[in-house]
Amino acid sequence: MSKLRIAVQKSGRLNDDSMRILKNIGISIENGKDQLKASARNFPLEVFYLRNGDIPQYLRDGVVDVAIIGENVLIEKGNDIDFVERLGFSKCKVSIAVPKESKANTLKDLDGKRIATSYPETVKKYLKEYNIDAQLHTISGSVEIAPNIGLADGICDIVSSGSTLFKNGLKEIEVLFKSEAVLAVSPLISEERRAILEKIQFRIQSVLKGQNSKYILLNAPNDKLENILKLLPGMRSPTVLPLAEEGWSSVHTVISKNAFWEIIDELKANGAEGILVCPIEKMVL
């Protein structure tokens, strides 16, 4: 049987998160230190540990079938490659920043100026879209230092927490786009391997739905049950069970973690008691 070949970043945070999601979907990887390729013990999968910037070309050539890669890298080096799933981790922005003392506050202020970046194709396309003529300096590594050494008037780089910009005396003036890890697919993937990919996608979707949801249990007075149920959209509808105490019911359902506090406040206002909220490991629909 064919094995699906998946590329992940060789080292760094994206590697850690990639291996974590494979573990969360039940795939055990036999990888030793410094291995460039490893096989799964319990799934038809081979993992290739590659440099992040090389992955788009490996996908394009069909050397690997799929990859967990930052959307920002895909936009820069693989905008002809499709992805099938957003993975919800390694979130960041690709932003333009300038020194705090700079008079530049908008993208237009960089017209005729110098911008240092590790994403020249992305920046070139963005500047062209807004009719900005700037000189680009392509740098690998610590882009943030470029304005301090007089190489550039501004930079374009990924921004996560913003702490690196702050430490280097920079301020963000433009966000090109937001990025996160995605599951990208080679245009040359075979039908047999695509069938394996679909199984992985199903598992990933179950994990992501679980991470974005909370399981909630509460006690509700029957005379206010109708109002409480209106606040609780479940997968189909909430489960309602009678309690030993007359006039009360136990309600079980799933809610979005993003709406958690708003719903809790409304439930309490409508007489709900004993509210218990639990994380969900996986949710299969």
pLDDT one-digit tens code per residue, 214-248: 888 999 999 999 888 888 865 567 889 999 889 99
Model confidence band, residue 32 (pLDDT cutoffs 50, 70, 90) = low
pLDDT tops 60 at residue 56: yes
> What is the predicted pLDDT for the residue at 283?
81
pLDDT tops 90 at residue 82: yes
Q: Are strands 45-50 and 4-9 parallel, antiparallel or unpaired?
A: parallel
Our CA angle for 141, 145, 147, nearest 5°, is 130
Q: Which of 207, 210, 142 is nearest to 170 (CA)?
A: 142
Q: Which CATH number fits domain 213-279: 3.30.2130.30, 3.90.870.10, 3.30.70.120, 3.90.1150.10?
A: 3.30.70.120
Model confidence band, residue 33 (pLDDT cutoffs 50, 70, 90) = low
pLDDT tops 60 at residue 114: yes
Task: Please give the order of strands across the beta sheet that includes 273-279.
Answer: 239-242, 248-256, 213-221, 273-279
Domain 92-179: state its class: alpha beta
3 contacts: CB under 8 Å, gap ≥ 6: 39, 44, 45, 46, 193, 196
Give the integer Cα–Cα distance in Å for 106 and 128: 15
DSSP 8-state assignment for residue 99: E
Q: Are strands 29-30 and 154-159 parallel, antiparallel or unpaired?
A: unpaired
Average pLDDT of the chain is 90
206 contacts: CB under 8 Å, gap ≥ 6: 25, 282, 283, 284, 285
pLDDT tops 60 at residue 118: yes
> What is the predicted pLDDT for the residue at 233?
67
How far are the Cα atoms of 22, 107, 128, 219 from residue 131, in angstroms, in the given order? 43, 10, 5, 60
Burial class (CB in 10 A: 0-12, 13-18, 19+), 232: buried
Tell me the three state secondary structure of residue 8. strand
Looking at domain 4-89+180-210, does it have CATH number 1.20.120.720? no
pLDDT tops 60 at residue 276: yes
Mean pLDDT, rounded, for 174-191:
96
Give the integer Cα–Cα distance in Å for 243 and 274: 12
Give the integer Cα–Cα distance in Å for 97 and 83: 28
Model confidence band, residue 212 (pLDDT cutoffs 50, 70, 90) = confident
Q: Any idea which of 146-160, 199-213, 249-263 has the lowest mean pLDDT?
A: 249-263
The answer to whether 4-89+180-210 and 92-179 have equal CATH topology is yes
How many Cα atoms within 13 Å fall on the side-chain side of residue 63?
Answer: 13
pLDDT tops 80 at residue 142: yes
Give the domain ranges of the chain: 4-89+180-210, 92-179, 213-279
Model confidence band, residue 113 (pLDDT cutoffs 50, 70, 90) = very high
pLDDT one-digit tens code per residue, 154-178: 999 999 888 888 888 999 999 999 9
> What is the predicted pLDDT for the residue at 160?
86
DSSP string, 34-75: T-SEEEESSSSEEEEEE-GGGHHHHHHHTSSSEEEEEHHHHH
> What is the predicted pLDDT for the residue at 54?
93
Q: Tokens 């795939």 belong to which residue?
A: 27
Model confidence band, residue 13 (pLDDT cutoffs 50, 70, 90) = confident
